[in-house]
């Protein structure tokens, strides 16, 4: 039986995403500033261990360890010739993490890490080439969807969407990073993009799911507001990945201050608002996702669905 496309499945019942990768890699030994994406080749067992914990916590969707996997980003780490190898390995690892569970692997394309001309030094041709190469590797590797995440400008987002379409992605997710204003009255991206405009833009340009992740101050209550604003502008499925609280510097390490018990309080309001995919971003852990799973299963039962049965973990 053919697996449903991600955006179709998410419209039928809410799905659970995963949590942070970067902070988990650091806990596993990645030094600050080093290339976590290269670990798909040099330390695949450590990447697999992280993603397997998310799968065992109940994630329906796992995002590949390729946030900085474009040629532009990998060049900064001296890895420009291993773009395809790194991205394909990431899809394979995420798929293996699910074991016998038929989960969704989301191929991750993060920002290229600069500004487009005339504000920065990168041309559209350079960024498009990098995104097309990465998207092709992720799709060829078997990703179920492409997520273009932590986006702040519509110009870069559009290049990502078009690159994913060219690669033949079955589902395209556009995920914006919003910052709450100093007075707390609203939120927008660094480049001034409001949620309604982002949603309309994605729908106009062929994305399948509108999302948010990361950002400054984008906690669970703000994610709920974003869902409401997205849903006022589009009928596309909505995905949210708020951070695990606010970052704090403790003993020269960045820690996030929201526990699973605190963060999970925001899950039911998101489900009641019709959020289609709920995950978490920076600072979140498998324990956060496990708490989300419990609330989501109770919600599914209350709506007449049978919660998913997770298979016995693979050792």
Asked if residue 312 belongs to a domain, the reply is no
Asked if residue 311 belongs to a domain, the reply is no
Tell me the C-alpha distance between 76 and 73, whole Å. Answer: 6
Angle between helices 83-97 and 124-140 (to 10 degrees): 40
- Domain housing 61: 6-302
Half-sphere exposure of 119 (CA within 13 A, CB side): 7
Pairing of strands 104-109, 61-63: parallel
Asked if residue 231 belongs to a domain, the reply is yes
Tell me the C-alpha distance between 3 and 89, whole Å. Answer: 22
Kindly state the percentage of the chain with pLDDT values over 90.
87
Mean pLDDT of 278-296: 96
Mean pLDDT of 237-258: 80
Residues in contact with 123: Cβ distance below 8 Å, sequence separation at least 6, in sequence order:
116, 117
Q: Which residue has the higher pLDDT, 246 or 4?
A: 4
Mean pLDDT of 231-260: 84
Tell me the C-alpha distance between 299 and 295, whole Å. Answer: 6
> Do the beta carbons of residue 285 and residue 244 sit within 8 Å?
yes
pLDDT digits (tens, 9 = 90+) for 70-86: 999 999 999 999 999 99
> Do the beta carbons of residue 148 and residue 138 sit within 8 Å?
no
Asked if residue 307 belongs to a domain, the reply is no
Average of per-residue pLDDT values in the chain: 94
Note the pLDDT of residue 252: 61
Does the pLDDT value for residue 108 go beyond 90?
A: yes
Tell me the C-alpha distance between 214 and 233, whole Å. Answer: 21
Asked if residue 245 belongs to a domain, the reply is yes
- Categorize the per-residue pLDDT at 313 as very low, low, confident or very high, splitting at 50, 70 and 90: very low
Tell me the C-alpha distance between 56 and 175, whole Å. Answer: 25
* Residue closest to 157 by CA, chosen among 187, 190, 183: 190
User: 262 phi and psi, to 5 degrees?
Assistant: -80, -45
Kindly state the percentage of the chain with pLDDT values over 70.
95
CATH number (domain holding residue 77): 3.20.20.330
Does the pLDDT value for residue 228 go beyond 80?
A: yes
pLDDT digits (tens, 9 = 90+) for 121-130: 999 999 999 9
* Concatenated DSSP letters of 259-276: -HHHHGGGHHHHHHTT-S
Q: Total structural domains in the chain?
A: 1
> Do the beta carbons of residue 224 and residue 266 sit within 8 Å?
yes
> Do the beta carbons of residue 33 and residue 26 sit within 8 Å?
no
Angle between helices 44-57 and 286-302 (to 10 degrees): 30
Asked if residue 277 belongs to a domain, the reply is yes
User: Cis ω on the peptide bond leading into residue 239 (within 30° of 0)?
Assistant: no
Note the pLDDT of residue 292: 98
């Amino acid at each position: 039986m053919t697996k449903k496309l991600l955006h179709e499945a998410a419209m039928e019942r809410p799905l659970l995403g995963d949590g942070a990768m970067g902070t988990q890699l650091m806990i596993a030994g990645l030094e600050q500033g080093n290339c976590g994406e290269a670990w798909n080749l040099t330390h695949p067992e450590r990447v697999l261990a992280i993603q397997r914990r998310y799968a065992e916590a109940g994630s329906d969707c796992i995002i590949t360890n390729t946030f900085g996997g474009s040629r532009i980003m990998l060049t900064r780490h001296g890895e420009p010739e291993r773009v395809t190898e790194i991205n394909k390995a990431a899809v394979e690892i995420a798929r293996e993490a699910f074991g016998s569970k038929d989960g969704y692997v989301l191929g991750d394309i993060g920002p290229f890490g600069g500004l487009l001309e005339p504000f920065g030094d990168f041309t559209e041709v350079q960024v498009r080439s990098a995104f097309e190469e990465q998207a092709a590797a992720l799709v060829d590797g078997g990703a179920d969807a492409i997520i273009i995440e932590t986006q702040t400008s519509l110009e870069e987002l559009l290049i990502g969407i078009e690159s994913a379409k060219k690669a033949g992605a079955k589902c395209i997710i556009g995920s914006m990073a919003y910052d709450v204003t100093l007075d707390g009255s609203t939120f927008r991206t660094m480049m001034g993009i409001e949620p309604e405009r982002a949603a309309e833009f994605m729908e106009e340009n062929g994305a399948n799911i509108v999302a948010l992740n990361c950002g400054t101050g984008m906690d669970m209550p703000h994610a709920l507001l974003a869902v409401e604003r997205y849903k006022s502008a589009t009928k596309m499925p909505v995905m949210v990945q708020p951070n695990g609280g606010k970052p704090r510097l403790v003993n020269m390490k960045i820690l996030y201050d929201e526990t699973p018990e605190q963060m999970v309080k925001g899950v039911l309001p998101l489900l009641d608002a019709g959020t289609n995919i709920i995950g978490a971003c920076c600072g979140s852990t498998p324990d956060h996702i496990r708490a989300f799973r419990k609330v989501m299963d109770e919600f599914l039962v209350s709506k007449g669905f049978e919660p998913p049965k997770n298979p016995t973990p693979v050792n």
